[in-house]
Structure 1
Amino acid sequence: MAIVITTEHLAAIAGKQTKLMPSLMEWINRLCPQYQIDSPQEYAHFLAQACHESDGFKTLQEYASGQAYEGRVDLGNSQVGDGVRFKGRGIFQTTGRANYLQLGIKKGRRDLFIHHPDYLEQAEYAVWSACEYWNSHHLNDAANHADNEVLKKKHHGEVIGVAPIEFISITINGGKNGMEQRKSFYIKARAVLGVL
């Protein structure tokens, strides 16, 4: 039977209710099952990452200005102002011109998010962009491993052994930023969603 995510679930994971939760909950329930994110275990991982990246479901835009991303070729930031224009947005904080462009291509409107980067702050696109990222990086595969399993992950040119939560966190963040908080949200999400 399909699980339905409620605002109570999100509030319990984050530790408090926020004004974004009702709209996020609506789009999580609409979109996640389309990407086969539909079991308590998969949702626990997905929501833990979203909770961290959105500061407890409080923001769909990175707090920093984005200036630090200026000139970052790895993010496709090739034009002056790209760092600020394409700073992190959505529940997974999509960052960089190249990623905004790819999302537009996936929507069938190449420059949709190039011309309207703030669209990723709308609940629908905020959740959809995270689902696209999750799916394109095959993160359900990692999410469905037992927590004590060791997965291989290439990180900074070195193959390391990591737990599934670490594998997913490094994939989404590109590093280990906020790892302890991500783990904490995951433990809460497992309890809230009744993961055995």
Structure 2
Amino acid sequence: MIILPDHLLAIADRKAITPLIFDIATCMNLTCPMYGIDTPQEYAHFLAQACHETDRFRTLREYASGVVYEGRKDLGNTQLGDGKRFKGRGIFQTTGRANYMQLGIKKGDAGFFVRNPEFLEQPQYAVWSACEFWSTRSLNDIANHADTDFLKKKYRGKVIDVSPIEYISLTINGGYNGIDERKKFYARAKRVLSP
């Protein structure tokens, strides 16, 4: 399946193709299939999350300063200034020194994104980092469940029953932030990408 800029526009309910939308679509077509993201169902879930995390494909960098991540050891932010330096970037908003370092390791240089965090704002790395996240958490397996299925997910120390869209949202966001919008984008993506 080929993702067109028009698909992204329709999911985001936007009017004009921007260079960022064009570049994201191009990079998705080059990268997603290498990670097995290649069916309408898989793309619907992937694009719904990307649409929310990028403010409808408007940005590849978190708007907030990142100060709230300062000192967050769970993100590997152990040095002064890490919160701002390693704020969310990419189409899934990779956050924290440890996650930037992990992506660098995947590239063969642990410091690649640590030295140059803004590289994750480039569409090729923005999409690639999301595909890495998706793949390492086996989210295609979740995306291919029926929407009516309930899956077990550990959340805040409890095992809960969630739908596939909720499971994926919790995995990407760590909470229910933007869940209604994610569900709306998912429903649109299913319509837009249906054969």
TM-score by length of 2: 0.98
Unaligned runs of 5+ in 1: none
Give distance in 1, aligned partners of 2:53 and 2:124.
16
Partner of 1:183, secondary structure, is helix
Give distance in 2, aligned partners of 1:54 and 1:21.
11
- Please state how far the C-alpha of 1:18 moved relative to its aligned partner: 4.8
1:114-193 matches, cutoff 5 A = 114-193=114-193
Deviation sequence 1:64-122 (CA, Å, 0-9, x none)? 00000000000000000000000000000000000000000000011000000000000
Partner of 1:159, secondary structure, is strand
Deviation sequence 1:115-162 (CA, Å, 0-9, x none)? 000000000000000000000000001000000000000000000000
CA RMSD of aligned residues (A): 0.7
Q: Is the 8 A contact 2:5 2:17 kept in 1?
A: no
Give distance in 2, aligned partners of 1:10 and 1:194.
14
Give distance in 2, aligned partners of 1:15 and 1:133.
26
Selected match of 2:5 from 7, 12, 18 = 7
Give distance in 2, aligned partners of 1:25 and 1:42.
15
> Identity percentage over the alignment?
62
Give distance in 1, aligned partners of 2:56 and 2:189.
12
| AA matched with 1:113 | F
Give distance in 2, aligned partners of 1:152 and 1:162.
6
Give distance in 2, aligned partners of 1:184 and 1:8.
17
Deviation sequence 1:13-35 (CA, Å, 0-9, x none)? 00113521100011000000000
Give distance in 2, aligned partners of 1:194 and 1:72.
41
Partner of 1:106, secondary structure, is helix
Q: How many residues align?
A: 193
Indicate the larger mover: 9-18 or 155-164. Answer: 9-18
Match of 1:112 in 2: 112
Tell me which stretches of 4 or more aligned residues in structure 1 moved more than 2 Å: none
| AA matched with 1:98 | A
| AA matched with 1:8 | D
Match of 2:32 in 1: 32
Give distance in 2, aligned partners of 1:110 and 1:182.
32
User: Are 1:103 and 2:103 counterparts?
Assistant: yes
Q: Is the 8 A contact 1:18 1:57 kept in 2?
A: no
Give distance in 2, aligned partners of 1:158 and 1:120.
33
Give distance in 2, aligned partners of 1:106 and 1:155.
27
Q: Is the 8 A contact 1:86 1:100 kept in 2?
A: yes
- Please state how far the C-alpha of 1:188 moved relative to its aligned partner: 0.2
| AA matched with 1:52 | H
TM-score by length of 1: 0.97
